[in-house]
Amino acid sequence: MRRYAIHAADGHPVAATAFDHPQPRAVVVVAGATAVPQRFYERFAQALQACGYEVHTLDYRGIGRSAPASLRGYQVDYLDWARQDLAAVIRHTQRASLPLYLVGHSYGGHALGLLPPDCRVDAMYAFGVGAGWHGWMPPAERRKVWLMWNVVGPLLTPLYGYLPFKLLGMGEDLPLGVYRQWRRWCAYPNYFFGDPQTRHALDGFARRAIPIAVANATDDLWAMPRSRDAFVAGYTSAQLARIDLDPAAHGLRGIGHIGYFRENAAVLWPQVAAWFGQLQGDVYASNAPLRT
């Protein structure tokens, strides 16, 4: 494990970690979820590393090791987590001789379509990607989310100058700009595809004509399979594989929205390595049709 720092195109520093391999079969970049620091993905990265992959993780600006001393007054554009921070890591790691794969978690699965055209990604496997709209959630979760957007957030953000997610036990604290954009996008059934302020940044979704697998747990209350389907419709040119994960079928009591990368869900991880391996065996070696 090797920590490093690079600068995005706009000059902002990005903290990243490399899990090197002496003879990697491919490079994998892990794009994390909103408010989740890169250290959460360390065990997963080590598991892929053991399968022969060179793996890189990162903290988006304002999160983890990429956060300033204080988030009060810190200006962040949520879209730039992909367009600037993730893009910087992909540019740093992409090589002509190796495929580059993306593993996305929630926002990380959104980020692929937001990347600049020069950021080559050959395939993506994502967990917990959804549209974010409360209407896709079960009734009890809808009420919780409604309270967060309409009561808790509006009360706490003026006091702190950011959303104190740590106080709520929901992850890393969020910069104010990220909170406000996230809240606005979640008002639309198809997330930021329905937001007139965001449409200028969404052309990249149609350009990603690559294999994409998106796995959602049936107990992921924030990203139910129907929420996933509403969002991934934006990847109009991709070869999409939609996977519904029943926790019990994998010997798990539950997965939820965050649990895909917890150590007790490691039973899911070999499927990711196997899927990427299949791509290299079929698509890159023989141009045979993708099997999913």
Cβ atoms of residues 66 and 15 within 8 Å: yes
CA distance 99 to 279: 10
| Range 53-73 average pLDDT | 97
pLDDT band at 285 (very low <50, low <70, confident <90, very high): very low
pLDDT band at 288 (very low <50, low <70, confident <90, very high): very low
Average pLDDT of the chain is 94
User: What dihedral angle (degrees, nearest 10) is formed by the CA atoms of 242, 274, 205, 127?
Assistant: 60
CA distance 81 to 104: 13
Cβ atoms of residues 128 and 152 within 8 Å: no
**Which pTM value belongs to this model?**
0.94
| Range 85-110 average pLDDT | 97
Say which residues have a Cβ less than 8 Å from residue 102's Cβ, sequence separation at least 6: 28, 29, 30, 31, 90, 108, 111, 112, 121, 123, 124, 125, 126
Strands 2-7 and 13-19: antiparallel
Q: What kind and span of H or E run contains 218?
A: none
Give me the sign of the Cα torsion angle 113, 244, 187, 262. negative
SS3 62: coil
Q: What is the pLDDT of residues 36-58, one digit of tens each?
A: 999 999 999 999 999 999 999 99
Both tokens assigned to 241:
């594989």
